[in-house]
Amino acid sequence: MTENIRRAIPDDIADIVAMIHDLAEFECAADQCTVTEKQMFAALFGPCPTVRGHVVESDGHIAAMALWFLKFSTWDGVAGIYLEDLYVRPSFRRRGLARRLLATLAGECLDNGYTRLSWAVLNSNSDASDAVALYDGIGGQPQREWTTYRLSGPGLVALAGPR
C-alpha cells in the first residue's frame, strides 16, 4: 500500500467536503455542517485563501485530511498553525495516518519559523481517549487553563448590531 501526504489540490475538494460532513456526523452535529464544495474551493484556492490543507493519498484514494490556518502569537511575535480539522476515514484508521499528518504540520512549523501547533479535541468525542492518547503520545499539552468561546448565529448578529 502506497501512502503519500501532500498539499491539497483542487481535485481533492469533493473528498475534503465529504470528510468534513463525515466528521460533523461523527461529532453528532451533521445538521450544523453546511459547507459546500464551492465554499471550500474558495477557502483553499481562491484569491485570498483562508485555510490550508494536506491530504493522505493511499493507492489513489484520499484517506485522510488536515485543514489548518495560521494563528498569530503576540507573545512569540510569530505565527503558528491552528489545526481546525483532522480526519481519517474509518477504513484507513489504525495505520498511523493521523500521527503522520501531525508530524507533517510540525514540519511546516519548523520550515516556516512558526512556534506553535495548536488544536482542540471535543470532550464529547466518543473516540476522545484514542485521540488524547495520540496527542499525549506526541508530547501535546492540554491547555486546561483556557476555555474556548464561540459566538455565531443570532448571538453574532445581535452583538454586531444594526447594519
Q: What is the pLDDT of residues 36-59, one digit of tens each?
A: 999 999 999 999 999 999 999 999
SS3 18: helix
Output the pLDDT for position 153.
77
Q: What is the model's pLDDT at position 110?
A: 94
pLDDT at residue 19, rounded to an integer: 98
How much is the pLDDT for 124? 65
Q: Count how many domains the chain has.
A: 1
Q: How confident is the model at residue 77 (pLDDT cuts 50, 70, 90)?
A: very high
Distance CA 163, CA 152 (A): 16
Q: What is the CATH number of the domain that holds 126?
A: 3.40.630.30
Q: Where are the alpha helices (DSSP H) in the chain?
A: 13-26, 37-45, 97-112, 128-137, 153-160
Q: Give the helix/strand (H/E) hosting 112.
A: helix 97-112
Q: With contact defined as beta carbons under 8 Å apart, do 116 and 152 qualify?
A: no
pLDDT at 121: 84
pLDDT of residue 127: 60
Per residue in 94-153, pLDDT (tens digit) is: 999 999 999 999 999 999 999 999 998 877 665 656 788 888 889 988 888 888 888 887
Q: Is 60 exceeded by the pLDDT of residue 25?
A: yes
Domain that includes residue 96, residue range: 3-160
- Residues 93 and 156: their CA atoms lie apart, in Å, by 37
